Structure 1
Amino acid sequence: MKKELFKHIPCGETLPINNIHAVSVSMPSLQDVIDYEEQTPQILEKIKSAYPRFVLHPYLKLLANYIKNKYKVSNKYEVVLLSSKEAVKIVSNKYFIHNKIDIDEPFGVILVLKGTTQLQKVLTFIQHVGCNLSSRFAQDYLYEVKVIKTKQKEELEDENTALHTLKQTLAKAYKQPIKNIGLAPSGMNAIYSVIRGLKKIQEKNNRTILVQLGWLYLDTMNIVEHHYNRTKKFLDITKLDELESFLKINGLNVSAIITEIPTNPLLQSVDLKRLRELCNKYNIVLVIDATLATPYNLNLKPYADILVESLTKFACGNADVLMGAIILNEKFKISHMQGEFFKHLDMVYIKDIQRLAYEIKDYKKRVKKISSNTKKLIHYFENCPYIDKIYHCFSKENEKNYKIAIQDDNSYSGLVSVTFNKEFKTIYDNLNFAKGPSLGTEFTLLMPYVYLAHYDYIQTKKGQEFLKKVNLPIDLLRISVGTENIEDIINEFKRVESLI
Structure 2
Amino acid sequence: MENSSFKPIECGETLPQNNVHAVSVSMPKLQDVIDYEEGFGEAMEKIKSGYPRFTMHPYLRILAKYIKEKYKVSDSYEVVLLSSQKAVDILSDKYYIHNKIDIDEPFGVILVRNGTCQLQRVLMFIQHVGYNLSSRFAEDYLYNIGLINSKHKEETEKEELAFDLVVSTLAKAYNQAKENITLAPSGMNAMYGVVKGLKNIQRKNGRDILVQLGWLYLDTMNIVKHYYEQSKVFCDVKNLDLLEEYLKENGFKVSAIITEVPTNPLLLCVDMKRLNSLCKKYNIPLVVDSTLATPYNVNLNDYADIYVESLTKFASGNADVLMGAIILNQKSKLSHMNVEFFKHCDKAYIKDIQRMAFEIKDYETRVKRISSNTKALVEYFKKCSYIDKIYYCLNDENELEYKQIMKDDNSYTGLISVTFNKSFETIYDNINFAKGPSLGTDFTLLMPYTYLAHYDYIKSEEGEKYLDEIGLPKDILRISVGSENINDIIEEFKRLEE
TM-score (norm 2): 0.99
- 1:393-408 to structure 2, matched below 5 A, reads 393-408=393-408
Q: Deviations over 1:117-153 (max 9, x none)?
A: 1111111010000110000000000000000000000
Tell me the alpha carbon deviations over residues 440-463 of structure 1, each in whole angstroms, 9 at most, x when there is no partner.
000000000000000000011110
Whole-Å separation in 2 of the counterparts to 1:58 and 1:356: 21
Q: Give yes or no for the alignment of 1:334 onto 2:334.
A: yes
Distance in 2 of aligned mates of 1:3 and 1:389 = 25
Per-residue Cα deviation, 1:146-192 (whole angstroms, up to 9, x for no partner): 00000000001000000000000000000000000011100001101
**1:376 to 2:376 alignment:** yes
| Deviation of 1:225 (Å) | 2.0
Deviation string 1:50-91 (CA, Å, 9 cap, x unpaired) is: 000000000000000111111111111110000000000111
Q: Distance in 1 between matches of 2:411 and 2:225?
A: 33
**Equivalent AA in structure 1 for residue 424 of structure 2:** F
Correspondence for 1:351:
351
2:432, 2:496 → 1: CA distance? 9
What is the rounded CA distance, in whole Å, between the counterparts of 2:10 and 2:179 in structure 1?
A: 44
**Superposed structure 1 runs of 4+ greater than 2 Å apart:** 41-44
User: Quick one: which amino acid aligns to residue 396 of structure 1?
Assistant: D
| 2:79–2:110 CA contact under 8 A, matched in 1 | yes
SS in 1 for 2:183: strand
Corresponding residue number in structure 1 for 2:8 = 8
Residues 149-168 of structure 1: pairs in structure 2 closer than 5 A: 149-168=149-168
- What is the rounded CA distance, in whole Å, between the counterparts of 2:214 and 2:270 in structure 1? 9
- Give, in angstroms, the shift of residue 43 of structure 1: 2.2
CA deviations on 1:95-119 (whole Å, 9 max, x unpaired) are: 1111000000010000011111111
Instruction: State the distance in 1 between where 2:370 and 2:44 align.
Output: 33
Structure-2 change in CA distance of 1:362 and 1:182 (3 Å): same
Task: Say if 2:229 is the partner of 1:208.
Answer: no
| Residue 218 of structure 1 pairs with residue 225 of structure 2 | no
Worse-superposed segment, 442-451 or 39-48: 39-48
Task: Report how many residues are paired.
Answer: 498
Cα distance in 1, alignment partners of residues 105 and 471 from structure 2: 48
Q: Is it true that 1:93 corresponds to 2:111 in the alignment?
A: no
Partner of 1:253: 253
2:289 corresponds to which residue?
289
* Aligned pairs for 1:409-420 within 5 A: 409-420=409-420
Query: Aligned partners of 2:442, 2:233: CA distance in 1, in Å?
Result: 34
**CA distance, structure 1, for counterparts of residue 44 and residue 272 of structure 2:** 44
Query: 2:243 is matched with which residue?
Result: 243
Q: Structure 1: how far apart are the matches of 2:212 and 2:92?
A: 28
How far 1:496 sits from its partner (Å)? 2.2
Distance 2:414 2:183 in 1: 23
In terms of mean alpha carbon deviation, does 112-121 or 321-330 score higher? 112-121
Q: Distance in 1 between matches of 2:347 and 2:330?
A: 24
Mapping of residues 41-56 of structure 1, within 5 Å: 41-56=41-56
Partner of 1:148: 148
The aligned residue for residue 73 of structure 2 is 73
- DSSP-derived class of the 2:419 partner: strand
Once the two structures are superposed, what CA deviation does each residue of 1:447-497 show, in whole Å capped at 9, x if it has no partner?
A: 000000000000111100000000000000000000000000000010122
Give the structure 1 partner of residue 389 of structure 2. Answer: 389
Residues in 1 aligned to 2:262 and 2:127: alpha-carbon distance in whole angstroms: 24
* Other-structure match for 2:465: 465
Amino acid across the alignment from 2:184: A
CA distance in 2, matches of 1:427, 1:379: 20
1:323 aligns to 2:323 (yes or no): yes
2:434 aligned partner, one-letter code: A
Letter in 2 for 1:342: F
Rounded to whole Å, the distance in 1 between the matches of 2:3 and 2:88 is 52
Secondary structure at the counterpart of residue 245 of structure 1: helix
1:75 is paired with a residue whose SS is: coil
Secondary structure of 1:160's counterpart equals helix
* SS at 2:296 equivalent: helix
Write the distance in 2 (CA, Å) between the matches of 1:92 and 1:377: 49
Mean CA deviation greater in 395-404 or 36-45: 36-45
Asked if 1 retains the 8 angstrom alpha-carbon contact of 2:3 and 2:492, the reply is no
3-state SS of 1:219 partner = helix
Q: Which moved more, 1:37-46 or 1:276-285?
A: 37-46
The CA distance in 2 between the partners of 1:122 and 1:2, in whole Å, is 48
For 1:273, the equivalent position in structure 2 comes to 273
Describe the SS at the equivalent of 2:210: strand
SS of 2:56's equivalent in the other structure is coil
2:112 counterpart of 1:112: yes
Show the counterpart of 1:131. 131
Structure 2 unmatched ranges of 5 or more:
none
Q: 1:14-55 CA distances to partner (integer Å, 9 max, x unpaired)?
A: 000000000000000000000000010522210000000000
| Residue number in structure 1 paired with 2:303 | 303
Q: CA deviation at 1:3?
A: 4.9
Q: Deviations over 1:397-435 (max 9, x none)?
A: 111001111110000000000000000000000000000
SS in 1 for 2:102: coil
Distance 1:116 1:241 in 2: 45
Shift of 1:224: 1.5
Give the SS at the match of 1:325. Answer: strand
- Match of 1:176? 176
The percentage of counterpart residues that share the same residue type is 69
Contact 2:306 2:326 in 1 (8 A): yes
Deviation sequence 1:334-358 (CA, Å, 0-9, x none): 1000010000011210000000000
Matches within 5 A, 1:14-25: 14-25=14-25
State whether residues 450 and 475 of structure 2, in contact with CA within 8 Å, keep that contact through their aligned partners in structure 1: yes
* Aligned equivalents of 1:484, 1:72: Cα separation in 2: 51
Question: Which secondary structure does the structure 1 equivalent of 2:232 belong to?
Answer: strand
8 Å CA contact 2:386–2:496 kept in 1: the answer is no
Mapped partners of 1:433, 1:426: distance in 2: 14
Give per-residue Cα distances to partners, 1:313-368, cap 9 Å, x unaligned.
Answer: 00000000000000000001010000100000112100000000000000000000
Distance (whole Å) between structure 1 residues aligned to residue 272 and residue 306 of structure 2:
14
CA distance in structure 2 between the aligned counterparts of 1:172 and 1:476, rounded to whole angstroms: 35
1:218 Cα deviation (Å)?
A: 1.0
Q: Helix, strand or coil: the match of 2:205?
A: coil
Q: Which moved more, 1:222-231 or 1:293-302?
A: 222-231
Task: For 2:369, give the aligned amino acid.
Answer: K
> Shift of the alpha carbon at 1:2?
7.0
Aligned-residue Cα RMSD (Å) equals 0.8
